Structure 1
Amino acid sequence: MRQSLSPAALACTDVDVSVARGTFEPGALGLFVGDAVHAAVQSRLQPRSVSSYAVNHPADLSEPASVQQGNRDLADPVTSQAAACPRQRFVPAGYSQGASVVDNSIGTSCGPLWTTRSSPQRTPASFHPGSRRRSRTSAASGIPSAS
């Protein structure tokens, strides 16, 4: 597993699993879902090379822009990495608040993320269309605004 590095510092692996942690979820990729998703993809795709990217966002309810911050930190590296590595494929994954990050980044927004009852905030889809086409699947579990 790699740590969050700039896209220029990453090798061109066959597949990259980018994970956005759930609300208050510990760990780089997320103890509850991210580590397991990365391990499963790695196991299933052997002998292909698989890297991971831990989306940098607070994953905290006290930070109203957490999803938007995660959206940018997921979409920007994937877009840059897609340009640098034309054969690389992407598997964005997220749990809880991280699922909202993924959902919005791939352009399938489930609706507004309510930061307060009176202040809905929608995060725009951010993957470049070419990057979106190279996302083979996505794993989003427990999207708060879809409940």
Structure 2
Amino acid sequence: MLGKWIVGTSLAMLLATAAMAAEINAQQPFAEQRAQIEKDLGGDTYREISAEDRAKVIAALERMSQRLGDGKQPQDLKGADQVSWFNDQELVNSLLTQAREDSRLVCERYRPTGSKMPQNVCLTVAQRRATREEAVDEIRQIRRSGGETPSR
């Protein structure tokens, strides 16, 4: 039993480390990481990030840069500055990790009703979630209206 727990815990830690690999690492030069994150925010890596979360990431990156100043590393910071820097690091990492997961493309192959030709449908995780939520909302509306379909 203990062996399974250790293997499970090790696997979870490995996956968490892999998920954070693209985010800010205090052991690597911050300026390079910031430039890469800003580039990725403009591309497909984080395409599902909300405007609000994008603004939070950019603001946190700016605060982190200001605290480091010229040539400092996070380990050189002291007291409240170090705590604030690491809090901003955690904010950026968590927002970008969620955005990257939501931006992951998932493809399914299915045969539409009445057709023998299979089709591929590719949607991001966020698009699939939104579609599912819309379907659930529509079913609720039908139930509330006594079985009549809502007009569109």
* TM-score scaled by length of structure 2: 0.26
Give the number of the structure with larger relative contact order, counting CA–CA contacts within 8 Å between residues 6 or more apart.
1
Bigger share in helix: 2
Larger Rg: 2
